[in-house]
C-alpha cells in the first residue's frame, strides 16, 4: 500500500518508522507514524463506500477480541474492520468465557496464543493489562482497546483523523477537551497524539476531574502544549475543536462534581458556548454520551462530528490491523 510521505508539522520532528508489533498507546508514536496510519485509514475508508465491503488483505489471519468491559462502538468496529479485511474474527466477552470461572488473564491469553491468534485486541478495567500481555505473549500482537483510565490509542487515532479531515493542519490548532479527564483513557491518548501533531490542548471541567499527573506541583500543566482552564467560557474562545467527555460514573467517587444540574450549567457544550469558538469549530464526543448533560441533543444530532468519528473508527482500526500484520507477510489492498 502506498502512503503519502509524512511532512512534519512545524516544530515537530518526524521520527523514522519502526515496524511495530503491538499498539498499546500513542506515547511512543511520532508524527510520521501517526501520519502513515491516518493515510492508510483514508485508503481503508474508501472500502466502506464500496457495495462489496471486503478486501483480501488479511485473509487467513486470526483476530481475537477480548472485551472484559462493556463496549459497543469499539468492539463492533474492530470486528467490522477485521472482517472487511477478510481476517477470521472471533469475539470473546467476559461472560460465557473461562474468565467467569476465575481463569487468570495471562492463562486466557496464553490459551488464545496457543490457538495461533495473530492479534489479540483487549479491553480491560485494569490500567496496564495490555502491557502485561504484550510482555508475556511471544507470537501474538496485542492491541489496547482501552485499559482502565489509562489509554485508548485507536480512539485517539480516529479523533485525529476526524480533525485532519476538517482542519487544514493540526499544527497550531486549539483543541478544548471538556469534562471528566480524570477517568478518561481517551483524553490521555488524545493528548499524546495531538501534541505530536503540533496542536495545543486545553482541558476544562470541574477541577476535581482534572488529572493531577498532568499538572506539576505548582498546578501548572506539566506537559508542553497542554493547558488547564476550568472556566469553559474562557477555555472555548477561538477553539478549532471542542470535545466533550462522558462523565464516567462507574469510575467516580461520590462528591466529584457539584450536581448534574450545576455540571450542565457550567460545562455543557451548547449552542451559546459554541458561538465563542471559531466559526465552524468541530464538535466531538467519543461516545457513549450522557445526552443533555455533556452536550445538547440538538448539537449531538446536528452539527457535531460524532457519527464521522464512528465511521473513522472502522477505517482507523482497519489501518491498525493491516499495519501490525503486514510485517508478517502482508497482502495488498485490492
Ligand atoms: C470510551 C471508552 O470506552 O473509553 N468510549 C469509546 O471507546 N468510544 C469513552 C467512554 O467510555 O466514555
Write down the pLDDT at residue 57: 95
E strand segments, the chain:
62-67, 88-93, 119-124, 141-147, 174-178, 200-204, 226-228, 241-244, 282-284
Residue 267 has pLDDT above 50, yes or no: yes
From 68, 246, 314, give the residue whose CB has the most ligand 1 atoms within 8 Å, as the site to mutate: 246
Q: Domains in the chain and their CATH numbers?
A: 31-151+311-329 (3.40.50.1370), 153-310 (3.40.50.1370)
For 65-103, write each residue's pLDDT tens digit.
Answer: 999 998 999 999 999 999 999 999 999 988 777 877 778
Residue 127 has pLDDT above 50, yes or no: yes
Write down the pLDDT at residue 222: 63
- pLDDT: is 31 or 326 the higher one? 31
Rounded to two decimals, the pTM is 0.91
- pLDDT: is 268 or 168 the higher one? 268
Residue 331 has pLDDT above 80, yes or no: no
Helix (H) or strand (E) holding 190: helix 185-196
Number of neighbouring beta carbons within 10 Å of residue 51:
4
Q: Closest ligand 1 atom, CA of 145? A: 7
128-156 average pLDDT score: 96
Residue 330 has pLDDT above 50, yes or no: no
Q: With contact defined as beta carbons under 8 Å apart, do 80 and 23 qualify?
A: no
Q: Closest ligand 1 atom, CA of 73? A: 8
Among 181, 206, 183, which residue's Cα sits nearest to residue 256? 206
Q: Closest ligand 1 atom, CA of 245? A: 12
Residue 329 has pLDDT above 90, yes or no: no
Q: With contact defined as beta carbons under 8 Å apart, do 282 and 166 qualify?
A: yes
Q: How far is the CA of 145 from the centre of ligand 1 (A)?
A: 9
Helix (H) or strand (E) holding 273: helix 271-274
Residue 6 has pLDDT above 50, yes or no: no
If pLDDT is split at 50, 70 and 90, which confidence band does 155 have? Answer: very high
Q: Out of 113-117, 179-183, 206-210, which region has the weakest mean confidence (pLDDT)?
A: 206-210
From 75, 127, 155, give the residue whose CB has the most ligand 1 atoms within 8 Å, as the site to mutate: 155
Number of neighbouring beta carbons within 10 Å of residue 213:
9
Residue 207 in 3-state DSSP? helix
Write down the pLDDT at residue 12: 38
Percent of the chain whose predicted confidence (pLDDT) is above 70: 87
Amino acid at each position: 500500500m502506498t502512503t503519502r510521505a509524512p511532512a512534519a508539522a512545524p516544530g515537530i520532528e518526524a521520527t523514522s518508522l519502526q515496524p511495530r508489533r503491538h499498539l498499546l498507546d500513542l506515547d511512543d508514536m511520532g508524527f510520521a507514524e501517526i501520519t502513515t496510519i491516518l493515510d492508510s485509514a483514508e485508503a481503508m475508508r474508501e472500502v466502506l463506500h464500496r457495495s462489496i465491503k471486503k478486501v483480501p488483505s488479511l485473509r487467513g489471519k486470526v483476530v481475537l477480541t477480548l472485551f472484559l468491559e462493556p463496549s459497543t462502538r469499539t468492539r463492533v468496529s474492530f470486528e467490522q474492520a477485521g472482517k472487511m479485511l477478510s481476517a477470521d474474527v472471533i469475539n470473546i466477552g467476559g461472560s460465557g468465557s473461562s474468565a467467569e470461572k476465575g481463569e487468570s488473564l495471562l492463562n486466557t491469553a496464553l490459551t488464545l496464543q496457543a490457538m495461533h491468534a495473530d492479534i489479540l485486541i483487549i479491553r480491560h478495567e485494569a490500567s496496564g493489562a495490555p502491557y502485561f500481555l504484550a510482555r508475556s505473549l511471544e507470537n501474538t500482537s496485542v492491541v489496547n482497546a482501552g485499559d482502565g483510565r489509562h489509554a485508548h490509542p485507536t480512539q485517539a487515532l480516529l479523533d485525529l483523523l476526524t480533525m485532519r479531515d476538517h482542519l487544514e493542519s493540526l499544527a497550531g490548532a486549539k483543541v478544548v477537551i471538556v469534562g471528566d479527564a480524570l477517568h478518561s483513557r481517551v483524553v490521555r491518548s488524545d493528548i499524546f497524539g495531538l501534541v505530536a501533531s503540533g496542536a495545543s490542548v486545553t482541558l476544562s471541567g470541574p477541577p476535581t476531574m482534572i488529572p493531577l499527573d498532568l499538572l506539576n506541583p505548582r498546578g501548572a500543566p506539566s506537559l508542553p502544549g497542554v493547558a488547564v482552564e476550568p472556566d469553559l467560557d474562557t477555555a472555548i474562545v477561538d477553539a478549532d475543536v471542542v470535545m466533550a467527555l462522558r462523565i464516567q460514573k462507574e469510575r467516580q467517587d461520590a462528591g466529584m462534581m457539584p450536581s448534574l444540574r450545576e455540571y450542565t450549567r457550567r460545562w455543557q457544550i451548547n449552542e451559546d458556548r459554541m458561538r465563542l469558538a471559531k466559526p465552524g469549530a468541530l464538535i466531538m464526543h467519543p461516545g457513549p454520551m450522557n445526552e443533555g448533560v455533556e452536550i445538547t441533543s440538538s448539537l449531538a444530532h446536528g452539527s457535531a462530528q460524532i457519527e464521522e468519528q464512528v465511521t473513522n473508527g472502522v477505517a482507523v482500526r482497519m489501518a491498525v490491523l493491516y499495519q501490525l500484520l503486514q510485517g508478517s507477510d502482508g497482502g495488498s489492498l485490492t
